[in-house]
């Protein structure tokens, strides 16, 4: 199996892509999709494999620049000869091309790409983009070409990755095209009155039975494809460590604090953080813990898809308040992890003792953590992301 280098996609496919299999990223118009193919290619090149990009949408220099914007440098691979372009763009723009292969007439495309496949046994070729080929050649010739490319690629253990914009093509064409591809990943917009995000889902795979899971994503520069978690809530009683926890898991964060009469700063509105971790990105919202701020809990908890419940392991008298905050923030209905903080202090209750005291079911993970000593945080984060997207 070959890795895709797309976060969560390997998990959905049962470990990756079968050698020699064809893959199509089939996108609704307007959805970012090129980064999916380029990210796969970049990861495979870094593993020492060979690859090419057939381009009929922009000239190679523009694609090299796009790779740089994601933080990926393919020029050393090009200089070594491990990576090359099949340039089906520059000749049509009246521009010179010095690439290994060029296509100046679409009647040449079948044999030219077959020659490129011969150059990269065991590698990966990206076809960007298939919908333009259909527009030039029509349905019948395109299907015949795709079948021929896939057959030869399979014989040489080459993964062909098709990037495809799903315009309003005939249903018959779409069905036949999908039947020729070993794995189809649909990229769709997620709408509720307006477009609120983008998601991918494996439509079919010849070697696995993927779950019908829609994974939200963003394409960021630098970084490429990231799994997006819209909102993670951090709640819990006063002084349980929420602000410190938000700062610990966030790439960037800010707290709205003020000094109370005791001179200790306390959160009076919220903690806001942004997380980028293992291919995931998420926005973090931490609630204040004191009862006088409960009016804003409802606002902060709306649209949350997962929650951390912070508890002070040395203060069982605050557990009832923690349960109350779970209810007030509606965290019962979403995946959640109880973060048992202050495990480094004498008298800290164990996770099992906390579960018993809080009367929590076995389906709610309780992770021992010491924010002061800095351990347990990643385990809590991995656990919640696992609940959200499996793995």
Sign of CA dihedral 331, 332, 334, 337: positive
3-state secondary structure of 16: coil
pLDDT higher than 80, residue 390:
no
Phi-psi region of 236 (alpha: psi -120 to 50; beta: other; left: phi over 0): left
DSSP state of 168: S
Distance (Å, whole) CA 194 – CA 235: 30
Query: Per mean pLDDT, which range of 83-87, 154-158, 225-229 is the poorest?
Result: 225-229
For residue 269, the model assigns a pLDDT of 62
Distance (Å, whole) CA 194 – CA 183: 30
77 contact partners, CB below 8 Å, separation of at least 6 = 45, 51, 83
Average pLDDT over residues 340-360: 96
Question: φ, ψ for residue 344 (rounded to 5)?
Answer: -80, -10
For residue 193, the model assigns a pLDDT of 56
For residue 337, the model assigns a pLDDT of 96
Distance (Å, whole) CA 355 – CA 360: 5
**385-391 contacts, C-beta under 8 A, 24 or more apart:** 385/229, 385/277, 385/278, 385/280, 387/306, 387/335, 387/336, 387/337, 388/229, 388/305, 388/306, 388/335, 389/8, 389/11, 389/213, 389/215, 389/227, 390/8, 390/11, 390/211, 390/213, 391/8, 391/11
pLDDT tens-digit readout, 292-317:
777 778 877 888 889 999 999 999 99
pLDDT higher than 70, residue 22:
yes
pLDDT higher than 70, residue 359:
yes
Choose between 218 and 261: higher pLDDT.
Answer: 218
Distance (Å, whole) CA 389 – CA 306: 11
For residue 264, the model assigns a pLDDT of 56
The model's pTM? 0.84
3-state secondary structure of 157: coil
Average pLDDT over residues 365-389: 94
The CA-CA-CA angle for residues 153, 64, 56, to 5°, reads: 55
106 contact partners, CB below 8 Å, separation of at least 6 = 88, 133, 136, 137
pLDDT band at residue 109 under the 50/70/90 scheme: very high
pLDDT higher than 60, residue 194:
no
Count of alpha carbons within 13 Å of 139, Cβ hemisphere only?
A: 11
pLDDT band at residue 329 under the 50/70/90 scheme: confident
């Amino acid at each position: 199996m070959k890795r895709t280098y797309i976060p969560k996609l390997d998990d959905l496919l049962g470990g990756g892509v079968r050698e020699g299999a064809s893959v199509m990223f089939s996108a609704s118009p307007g959805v970012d999709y090129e980064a999916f193919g380029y990210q796969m290619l970049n990861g495979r090149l870094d593993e020492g494999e060979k690859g090419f990009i057939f381009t009929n949408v922009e000239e190679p220099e523009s694609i090299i620049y796009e790779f740089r914007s994601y933080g990926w440098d393919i020029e050393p691979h090009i200089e070594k000869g491990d990576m090359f372009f099949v340039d089906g763009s520059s000749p049509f723009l009246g521009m010179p091309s010095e690439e290994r292969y060029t296509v100046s007439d679409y009647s040449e495309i079948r044999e030219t790409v077959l020659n490129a496949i011969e150059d990269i046994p065991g590698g990966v070729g990206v076809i960007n983009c298939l919908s333009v080929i259909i527009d030039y050649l029509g349905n019948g010739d395109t299907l015949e070409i795709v079948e021929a490319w896939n057959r030869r690629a399979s014989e040489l253990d080459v993964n062909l990755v098709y990037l495809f914009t799903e315009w309003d093509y005939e249903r018959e064409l779409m069905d036949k095209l999908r039947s020729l591809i070993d794995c189809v990943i649909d990229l769709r917009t997620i709408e509720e009155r307006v477009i609120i995000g983008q998601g991918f889902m494996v439509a079919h795979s010849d070697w696995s039975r993927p779950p019908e899971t829609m994974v939200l994503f963003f394409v960021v520069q630098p970084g490429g494809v990231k799994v997006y978690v819209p909102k993670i809530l951090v709640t819990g009683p006063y002084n349980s460590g929420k602000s410190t926890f938000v700062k610990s898991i966030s790439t960037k964060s800010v707290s709205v604090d003020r000094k109370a009469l005791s001179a200790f700063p306390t959160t009076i509105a919220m903690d806001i953080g942004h997380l980028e971790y293992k291919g995931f990105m998420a926005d973090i919202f931490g609630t204040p813990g004191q009862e006088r701020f409960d009016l804003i809990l409802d606002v902060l908890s709306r649209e949350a898809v997962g929650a951390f419940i912070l508890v002070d392991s040395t203060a069982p008298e605050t557990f009832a308040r923690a349960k109350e905050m779970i209810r007030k923030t509606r965290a019962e209905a979403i995946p959640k992890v109880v973060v048992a903080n202050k495990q480094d202090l004498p008298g800290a209750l164990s996770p099992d003792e906390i579960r018993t005291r809080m009367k929590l079911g076995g389906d709610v993970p309780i992770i021992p953590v010491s924010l002061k000593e800095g351990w347990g945080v990643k385990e809590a984060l991995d656990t919640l992301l696992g609940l959200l997207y499996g793995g």
